[in-house]
Amino acid sequence: MGKGWCLFFLFWPVAAVVSCAAAPLIGWSFPYDNAQAASNLGIRIDNLFYLILAITAAVFIGTQAVLVYALWHGANNRDERAHHTHGNHKLELIWSVIPGAILLFLAIYQMNLWADFRFKNHYPEAAVKAPLAEVTARQFEWRFRYPAIGKKLQPKPQPDDLYTVNELHVPFGRPVLIQLRSEDVQHSFFLPALRIKQDALPGLQIPVWFEANKPGVYDLVCAELCGWGHYKMKAHVIVEPEEEYQAYLKNLTQQQFYDGLGNIAANENGSESEAAEK
């Protein structure tokens, strides 16, 4: 009887480990392109993930193996009485210090990565100097505001700014910075491919930087509950080479300031509604 149960409790961790090991092979892993992050920071995050995965896998296999072994013995214990003990100080010490050391190591190990991602004084200077765009989340769409070509992004909207909805173009190969804000409730700027996530908080303007290293079209989704349409804040981030990006901006300027007579009225106010594509 007892042995059957031991097998039952053996079966499940084995299944878990096997499915985890098989996961990358059958695509149950990070999304896109061979589970490779599309940014260097993302790759570092993935590596941290794999490190933790290795540690936790070892801990998981270890604890489950010992558990099943102990159960197996306990089930077959023919002694009249169990072994009488109230504990063992040395053992307690060992199994407090070792996990403690591992955890402390993990905590310290990741600090740099976190600092690079979020500490303002670690942001790449080039990106901070010329923010790419302002991203405004609202129920239930993403709005983007680029500065006019050759100008700098101002905190307040300017008449010659360029606007798009639900489509953000980003050049690759250089770090870029967006100013994230929200017009109504809380949203979250989630770019799975780049392992970027940052909530858009009403009342704050949060700078987020990233550096895409692969061209492509990536999904941008909202990861903070923002109302009934939370699931449909669907947008794309299009990562393209610098020239294409510049061309895109030019094109956008033309579209937005076309006065219907074949002229580009670059300095008149570009109304939002005109720019809204969808």
Where on the chain is the footprint of ligand HEA (CB under 6 A)?
Answer: 55-56, 59, 63, 99, 102-103
Spatial separation of the C-alpha atoms in residues 62 and 114, rounded to whole Å: 30
CB of 56 to ligand HEA, least distance (A): 6
Site string for ligand CUA, 140-179 (x = CB under 6 A): x---------------------------------------
Amino acid (1-letter code) at residue 173 = G
Q: Which of 36, 43, 60, 238 binds another protein (CB under 8 A)?
A: 60
Identify residue 125 by its one-letter amino acid code: E
Residue 48 touches another protein, criterion: CB under 8 A: yes
Beta strand 187-191 pairing with 196-200: antiparallel
Burial tier of 216 (Cβ tally within 10 Å: 0-12, 13-18, 19+): middle
Give the Cα separation of 262 and 257 in Å (integer).
10
**188 binds another protein per the rule CB under 8 A:** yes
User: For residue 140, is the peptide bond before it cis, meaning its omega torsion is within 30 degrees of 0?
Assistant: yes
**Strand 167-171 vs strand 235-240: parallel, antiparallel, or unpaired?**
parallel
Site for ligand CUA in 127-146 (CB under 6 A): 137, 140
153-182: b (≥16 Cβ within 10 Å) or e: beeeebebbbbbbbbbbbbbeebbbbbbbb
Residues of span 193-222 touching ligand CUA by CB under 6 A? 222
Q: Which of 187, 194, 208, 210 binds ligand CUA (CB under 6 A)?
A: 187
273 sits near another protein (criterion: CB under 8 A): no
Least distance to another protein, CB of residue 271, Å: 17
CA distance 65 to 165: 53
Positions in 191-250 near another protein (CB under 8 A)? 192-193, 195-199, 201-207, 219, 221-232, 234
Does 111 sit near another protein (CB under 8 A)? yes
Q: Which of residues 132-171 bind another protein (CB under 8 A)?
A: 138-139, 155
Residues in contact with ligand CUA by the rule CB under 6 A: 137, 140, 187, 222, 224-226, 230, 233
